[in-house]
Amino acid sequence: MGLYRDQVLPRVMDVVLSGAELGKVRARVASGLSGVVLEVGFGSGLNVPYYPPAVERVLAVDPSAVGRKLAAVRVAESHVSVEYVGSDAQRLPLGPAEVDCVLVTWSMCSIPDVGQALSEMLRVLRLGGRLHFVEHGRSPDPKLARWQDLLNPLQGALAGGCNLNRAIDKLVAQAGFHMARLDNYYFPGPRVMNYFYEGLAVK
């Protein structure tokens, strides 16, 4: 499982999370980012082309060494400086109020203690700073949610600890953020995996 999770899965996710339609989602979520941005779950750098001109610097957090290798070309071509600052979102190596925005895309599903990670994001954000996010998570359809619960152990084993059934809006609110905007929708594909939470939350 170590070889699969460390070497194979990052390459699979680079392909699965690419594409024009997901690119449109990334562009919407990145819109409005400015100043110093913390990106949690930087992965293979798929968000890099969508950073707006107002972004001054990106601090990247991700546990995957393979992801960094895959991101190298995108980072080299970016107009924004990217600095890797850590591998664990649950323990961010930053002081209070160091960043203007936090960007998270399809990563809260796989952080073991996502509540702790969100608390850390809140801590390092300045007052009035924004959390830009898109995630997949728990469906409001009870039948579909039951399938998500049933399939969750298998999903976690195959997808590096990914959870199908997290209620992202509740987790963000419980961490102390104010939800300024939230759009929920089914993205094309298997509905059990593709109920999206796309939003903006403020400290």
Which residues are CB-contacts of 169 (< 8 A; sequence separation ≥ 6)?
179, 182, 184, 197, 199
Average pLDDT over residues 155-173: 96
Contact between 197 and 184 under an 8 Å Cβ cutoff? The reply is yes
- Cα 49 from Cα 77, distance rounded (Å): 9
Task: pLDDT band for 4, please (50, 70, 90 cuts).
Answer: confident
The structure tokens 């796989």 sit at 110
pLDDT in tens, 82-105: 999 999 999 999 999 999 999 999
Domain holding 15: CATH number?
3.40.50.150
pLDDT in tens, 29-82: 999 999 999 999 999 999 999 999 999 999 999 999 999 999 999 999 999 999
The structure tokens listed for 153 are 């152990």
Give the per-residue pLDDT at 38: 98
Contact between 93 and 85 under an 8 Å Cβ cutoff? The reply is yes
Find the domain containing 147 and state its range.
2-202
pTM for the full predicted model = 0.96
The structure tokens 């699979």 sit at 12
Number of domains in the chain: 1
- 16-19 long-range Cβ contacts below 8 angstroms, 24+ apart: 17/43, 17/46, 17/106, 18/46
